[in-house]
């Protein structure tokens, strides 16, 4: 299985900050990387697909980059509703695997 | 707008079989553009991919669960289902039914059901 490692596991920031979450794959996955946002008690929501493509309806303050084994999710200016948990997921091979999650908290 | 809705027992006894159904509304599951599948999340923990089914009937399972999992579809009812046998407390989780897009290289999961909590307990 491909292991996905997110860092940090938790992050404290303030409204308006720019933050970056990193996801590293244990082997090459090209651009087969998706990012999801999950709010408490809700299903995850697709933010970014194919490493850098913004899902329809997602605010442009979210962006993704990377290829190969190293990827980042950047939120350019944090809004209050962004303080929640984020997951990366690889789709290069089966089984599909997720990172352990990054919890973004208000400082 | 396409929607997914899970249904099934919220409580299953150890060693028995967990059975869930996902009803799809607003679109057909008989489409070459999508996979239909299941993802679970134990309380307070991360996400685990269980498996998927394609319109052709081809199935793909997580090897860690493969010996216990069956995913099937009923196109006449526009539903797909999950069966997980010989459950233990470790199978307690919120189970999500989901849609994945075939035609995008990273086959992202773009639509999720609301999720249903299944507890394994005697």
Query: What pLDDT was estimated at residue B32?
Result: 95
Q: Which of A18, A93, A20 lies closest to A6, judged by CA?
A: A20
CA separation, residue B86 to residues A70, A98, B37, B65, B75 (Å) = 38, 25, 20, 11, 27
Going by C-beta distance under 8 Å and a sequence separation of 6 or more, which residues neighbour residue A6?
Answer: A21, A22, A23, A24, A86, A87, A88, A99, A100, A101, A102
Query: What pLDDT was estimated at residue A4?
Result: 98
CB A8 within 8 A of CB A100: no
Token pair recorded at residue B54: 């394609």
How far does A58 lie from chain B, in Å, by closest CA? 12
pLDDT along chain A (107 residues), means of 10: 98 97 98 98 98 98 98 97 98 96 96
Instruction: Find, in chain A, the residue whose alpha carbon is nearest to that of B109.
Output: A46
When scoring B109, B115, B116, B117 by the number of chain A Cβ atoms within 10 A, the one with the most, hence best to mutate, is B109
How far does A15 lie from chain B, in Å, by closest CA? 25
Among candidates B46, B49, B114 on the partner chain, residue whose Cβ is nearest the Cβ of A95: B49
Going by C-beta distance under 8 Å and a sequence separation of 6 or more, which residues neighbour residue A73?
Answer: A20, A21, A23, A35, A47, A48, A62, A63, A64, A86, A88
Query: What pLDDT was estimated at residue B110?
Result: 96
Query: What pLDDT was estimated at residue B104?
Result: 87
CB contact under 8 A, A98 and B48: yes
How far does B113 lie from chain A, in Å, by closest CA? 7
Confidence band, pLDDT 50/70/90 cuts, at residue B14: very high
Residues of A with CB below 8 A from B97's CB?
A: none
Query: What pLDDT was estimated at residue B92?
Result: 98
Query: What pLDDT was estimated at residue B55?
Result: 96
Instruction: Find, in chain B, the residue whose alpha carbon is nearest to that of A40.
Output: B44
Interval B27-76: pLDDT, tens: 999 999 999 999 999 999 999 999 999 999 999 999 999 999 999 999 99
CB contact under 8 A, A46 and B110: yes
How far does B9 lie from chain A, in Å, by closest CA? 19
Going by C-beta distance under 8 Å and a sequence separation of 6 or more, which residues neighbour residue A100?
Answer: A4, A5, A6, A9, B46
Query: What pLDDT was estimated at residue B103?
Result: 87
Q: How many CB pairs under 8 A join A and B?
A: 66
Token pair recorded at residue B55: 């319109």
Q: Which residues of B48-60 are buried (b: 16+ CB within 10 A; e: fewer)?
A: bbbbbbbbeeebb
Distance CA A86, CA B42 (A): 16
């Amino acid at each position: 299985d491909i292991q996905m490692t997110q860092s940090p596991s938790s992050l404290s920031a303030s409204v308006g900050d720019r933050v970056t979450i990193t996801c590293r794959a244990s082997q090459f996955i090209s651009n087969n990387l998706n990012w999801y946002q999950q709010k408490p008690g809700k299903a995850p929501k697709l933010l970014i697909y194919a490493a850098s493509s913004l899902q329809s309806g997602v605010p442009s303050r979210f962006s993704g980059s990377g290829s190969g084994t190293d990827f980042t999710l950047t939120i350019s200016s944090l809004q209050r509703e962004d303080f929640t948990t984020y997951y990366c997921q690889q789709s290069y091979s089966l089984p599909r695997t997720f990172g352990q999650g990054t919890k973004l908290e208000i400082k | 707008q396409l929607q997914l809705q899970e249904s099934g027992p919220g409580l299953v006894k150890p060693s028995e079989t967990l059975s869930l159904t996902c009803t799809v509304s607003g679109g057909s599951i008989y489409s070459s553009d999508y996979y239909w599948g299941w993802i679970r999340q134990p309380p307070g923990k991360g996400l685990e991919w269980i498996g998927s089914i394609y319109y052709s009937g081809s199935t793909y399972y997580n090897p860690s669960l493969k010996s216990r999992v069956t995913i099937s579809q009923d196109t006449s009812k526009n539903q797909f289902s999950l069966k997980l046998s010989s459950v233990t407390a470790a199978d307690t989780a919120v189970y999500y039914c989901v849609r994945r897009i075939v035609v995008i290289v990273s086959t992202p999961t773009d639509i999720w059901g609301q999720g249903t909590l299944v507890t394994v307990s005697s």
